[in-house]
Structure 1
């Protein structure tokens, strides 16, 4: 029994010693870690990296050698620069993307550069995102390579990644350190991603809401989606499903889809039905849209319809003023603006009408 007890005590002592031996203090690193992210459309890009300082050192060609190098550690004998310090710099894409015009699948990648002395560099994204720095770089794990041109910038003491030039479908992320910057262009097929997301979600709770089908059809209409698919979605919103309800909004979307499909008669029929259900303000806004699209005669017809349906109400006179102004008949426009001014419901409305009266008197179009 004593031997067993002694053995247990020795084992506990060994385990305690081992734990103490391998315990590490959670202390800050010299090059602190950072993460920068950007949403493009509905997709996310994030970069995690460590931020060394210049600290009066000669960076390019010295601290960061040009070309591929044997760093004297790890398995790589021809390693690129790790685009930071410490662990692997990584970049994560929530959806399939394009980097410098080349396709890259959704996921996380190691981000490296082969820096060259002639103001160029080769961007390398590696499938190996977990190794330490570039010491274990393996070219067979490359997901993509792209040649880029570096630029000269004001001094950045700390290595910095920033997203700039953010557009609807793309953004440029730039690594800047010292006076050198490495721009990378990232883009997504936002329309395809948004519509694929809707298709997936429409099989769940989101598919029970009429407004989601309307929104998807409208997005496809205005962003280059499949118009026949959009027509099917808006038809579902209008009729045939337990959530369907015919409204001015979905009939107007249907009319626009049909118009883009070249089915002009069907589009007119859908829009006529929409206008029969429209409020005074919906008719007014549709008339303004027609003017914006250069359809002056149709706009005049729509504003006149509003007068017939809503006699004596101030927005109809405001609409007719816009219709006459679009045709260049400022005398008639002024007549309707004066009527609108009398009937305007509040000071803010009166102020807007008066501003347009002043413009018409100077011979200026109010649209």
Structure 2
């Protein structure tokens, strides 16, 4: 019994010598937050703490947030910018290379700092993303600086926040908003090159064991008229790759598109003759529309006439002939085929579309 008592006493004394690390809200009521958005294929994530105005309107910018660089009285830095938030370092992460207001920045995580002035703000991306606040800021660790204009006299925002605005497929404006100011900077990506890099990477994994993955990658290069030689290699592999390749309309027609874009029309035409017998009605119809868009109206007419023989008196065949005759400028015959298609419309949406096209023909307008 005495032995057990001694052990318990030793355990309790040992426990008291350590401080329990419990979790509480951040000091001063600041709230931790993060915001993330995908720009193209690039993930942009900001981690920050959200201070509140707390009745200090008119005393935030230039007072609570000091102007320029300042000795904060602690740490190793004698010229510290603002930490662009509260408490720990505000950080921003980019999953791929980006540009910030047109200046390049490599993928990675950065400390996000700001040197605020009354009429401009220097936004700093520091390679040091782990220090506390800006007390240890070192300009030698800057990866990038950009200067932006603050937006003033805006609707008041009580708690500091970051938002993504003005999004496009390849860019977004990151906006810090607090009190009546907003501080914007633009993140842009090279979407085509980022997409190509992603395709190369995915084709090295399990998706690279499928013909359709190579065909989709090849089609992307054709759609964007870029890296055509690389796209042609992908197209070839989708047809002939060991254990992967398959000859079908998609693979053959994609290669034909690339050959055509590379001014190898004789090879492209020969490949399409091989591809068309493998096409479904839907695939052949879409290819016929593609020919019309390329102003190859005679080829489109021949294709749609062949389809009508192979699939007589069906909705899509009649639609094809309507489009072909319209492209040739014979709106009366086109309308006759349109009426036949109208009677076979498979649903209300298709019926409404045919009626719309017939209306155009009645006005003497091409439906394509």
Give yes or no for TM over 0.5: yes
Q: Secondary structure at the match of 2:182?
A: strand
Residues 122-137 of structure 1 correspond to what in structure 2 (within 5 A)?
A: 122-137=122-137
Change (3 A) 1:345 1:104: closer
| Pair 1:100 & 2:101 matched | yes
Q: Secondary structure at the match of 1:26?
A: coil
Shift of 1:11: 5.8
Q: Distance in 1 between matches of 2:116 and 2:338?
A: 67
The answer to whether the Cα contact below 8 Å between 1:192 and 1:225 also exists between their aligned partners in 2 is: no
Match of 1:176 in 2: 177
Match of 2:310 in 1: 309
Q: Distance in 2 between matches of 1:197 and 1:36?
A: 24
Match of 1:142 in 2: 142
Change (3 A) 1:257 1:176: same
Q: Distance in 2 between matches of 1:312 and 1:13?
A: 91
Stretches of structure 2 that go unaligned for 5 or more consecutive residues are: none
Change (3 A) 1:138 1:228: same
Shift of 1:100: 2.0
Question: What do residues 240-291 of structure 1 show as CA deviations (whole Å, max 9, x unaligned)?
Answer: 4212111111111111111111111111122222222212221111122233
Match of 2:45 in 1: 46
The answer to whether the Cα contact below 8 Å between 1:328 and 1:365 also exists between their aligned partners in 2 is: yes
Change (3 A) 1:348 1:200: closer
Change (3 A) 1:179 1:315: same
Q: Secondary structure at the match of 1:151?
A: coil
Match of 1:235 in 2: 236
Shift of 1:37: 0.3
Q: Distance in 1 between matches of 2:224 and 2:344?
A: 40
Residues 1-367 of structure 1 correspond to what in structure 2 (within 5 A)?
A: 12-19=11-18, 22-29=19-26, 30-57=29-56, 58-118=59-119, 120-152=120-152, 153-345=154-346, 349-367=350-368
Shift of 1:351: 4.3
> What's the Cα RMSD here?
2.2
Q: Secondary structure at the match of 2:114?
A: strand
Question: What do residues 177-227 of structure 1 show as CA deviations (whole Å, max 9, x unaligned)?
Answer: 112111111122232233223323323322111111111111222235411
Shift of 1:229: 1.0
Change (3 A) 1:137 1:347: closer
Bigger Cα displacement from structure 2, 263-272 vs 190-199: 190-199
The answer to whether the Cα contact below 8 Å between 1:191 and 1:224 also exists between their aligned partners in 2 is: no
Change (3 A) 1:296 1:101: same
Bigger Cα displacement from structure 2, 54-63 vs 271-280: 271-280
Shift of 1:103: 2.0
Stretches of structure 1 that go unaligned for 5 or more consecutive residues are: none
- TM-score using structure 2 length: 0.91
Q: Distance in 2 between matches of 1:162 and 1:346?
A: 43
The answer to whether the Cα contact below 8 Å between 2:238 and 2:244 also exists between their aligned partners in 1 is: yes
Count residues with an aligned counterpart.
361
Shift of 1:128: 0.9
The answer to whether the Cα contact below 8 Å between 1:71 and 1:135 also exists between their aligned partners in 2 is: yes
